[in-house]
Amino acid sequence: MELDTPLVLKLREHLIEVAPSSRGPVLAREDQRDNGSPEESAIVDRFRPFAQLFYLVASADGEIDEDERHVMRGAFESLTAGRVDRARLLGLEAELMGQAAACDREQLLEEVCSVLSRDREDAELAFTLAAVVAVANRQVEHHEVQLVDQLGSWLGVSQRRAAELLRVGQRRSLPPRSST
Residue 136 sits in a domain whose CATH number is 1.10.3680
Residue spans of alpha helices (H) in 59-141: 66-79, 86-102, 105-116, 120-134
Reported as a single tens digit per residue, the pLDDT across 140-179 is: 788 888 999 999 999 999 999 998 888 864 444 334 444 4
Question: CA-CA distance, 67 to 72, in Å (whole number)?
Answer: 9
Q: Which residues, in sequence order, are CB contacts of 151 under 8 Å at separation 6+? A: 53, 57, 109, 113, 126, 127, 130
* Assigned domain for 58 exists: yes
Please report the pLDDT score of residue 60 as a whole number: 84
* Assigned domain for 30 exists: no
- Cα separations in angstroms, 33 against 28, 76, 95, 96, 100: 6, 20, 17, 20, 25
Task: Please give the residue range of the domain that contains residue 138.
Answer: 6-21+38-167
Reported as type and span, the H/E element at residue 52 is: helix 38-58
- Best CA proximity match to 98, nearest among 40, 56, 144, 43: 56
* Assigned domain for 176 exists: no
* Assigned domain for 1 exists: no
Please report the pLDDT score of residue 27 as a whole number: 39
- CB 100: neighbour CB atoms within 10 A? 18
Reported as a single tens digit per residue, the pLDDT across 48-98 is: 999 999 999 988 887 888 988 888 888 888 888 889 988 888 888 889 888
Question: CA-CA distance, 44 to 102, in Å (whole number)?
Answer: 21
Q: What would you report as the CA-atom Rg of the chain, rounded to the nearest whole angstrom?
A: 18
Span of 7-16, 100-109, 117-126 with lowest mean pLDDT? 7-16
* Assigned domain for 178 exists: no
Instruction: Tell me the mean pLDDT in the region 136-140.
Output: 82
- CB 51: neighbour CB atoms within 10 A? 21
Say whether 62 sits in a helix, a strand or coil.
Answer: coil
Q: What is the pTM of this model?
A: 0.80
Number of domains present in the structure of the chain: 1
* Assigned domain for 175 exists: no
